[in-house]
Amino acid sequence: MNGFLNLNKPQNFTSHDCVAKLRKILKTKKIGHGGTLDPLATGVLPIAVGKATRLLQFLPSEKAYKAKVKFGIQTTTDDLEGEIIRQQEVKDLTLAKIMDILPEFMGEIEQIPPAYSAIKKDGKKLYNLARKGEVIDIPKRKVFIDKIDVLNWQESEYPELDLKVICGGGTYIRAIARDLGEKLGTGATLANLQRTLSCGMTLENSLSFDDIINQQKADELSLIELDYPLQNMPKIYLNKEESKSWLLGQKISRITKEEYQFYCTYNHENKFIGISEQRENTETNIKPKIVIYPNL
């Protein structure tokens, strides 16, 4: 089996749990995922099966989320899974105050990832260090947030704000909730998170575990084609001789106007055969980066 699955991840599953479960369902070990989701989160978890695991690095990085931020509460994990470390009623918080702050989270910003995250420092995952009670100096990282829309605002002693966030890879929505609370002086944590877009896959087209199991039993499970999620990449089509040379690992002379580094590559029969790389300062030479065909 070679291709992608658009999994709708359920709550209380880690991304690793999902991969392990799918290995049993599909009876294959070569499975990976295209971006970690926290156990609390649900929604789109791109799954690569077989040769598709080699293509994960080339999938589009844009992601979209629906998030619920709860004000007046701070936790160790920046979401409701963690231990509450501060709690206060914030009845005077208004949506107008929040709208004044939100523009500060747009565009390229610096963000400190949550202490409980899968990011590694000195070869060790932060959440393992945090669980041991170690004080961690987490460096800031630049992330890009394209858009934040307010979906709903609910006033109470602990007000809740529903947001739609469109952002680049590596963005932590938990950190947005935490930092929003800090800027408002109320404290805040992430109460709910659903990913609606990842690697070009949408929530509307996602499959639950039950969907996958039922389709597998009925012999109706169809994986997403290997090149389908790579629509963000430029394409190169080779003739018969070029295809033969390329599959032998040889460079191909090709004039390319675009200044891209990688290209989806198709043979003379319009069959996707892998990824080509254009080396810097050699504009007319491309060579194989990842060969998918004919070793399917």
Rounded to 10°, the helix 209-217/15-26 angle is 10
Beta bridge partners of 108: 144
| Identity of residue 214 | N
Catalytic residues: 38
| Identity of residue 72 | G
Number of other CB atoms surrounding residue 143 within 10 Å:
20
Q: How far apart are CA 30 and CA 238, in angstroms?
A: 29
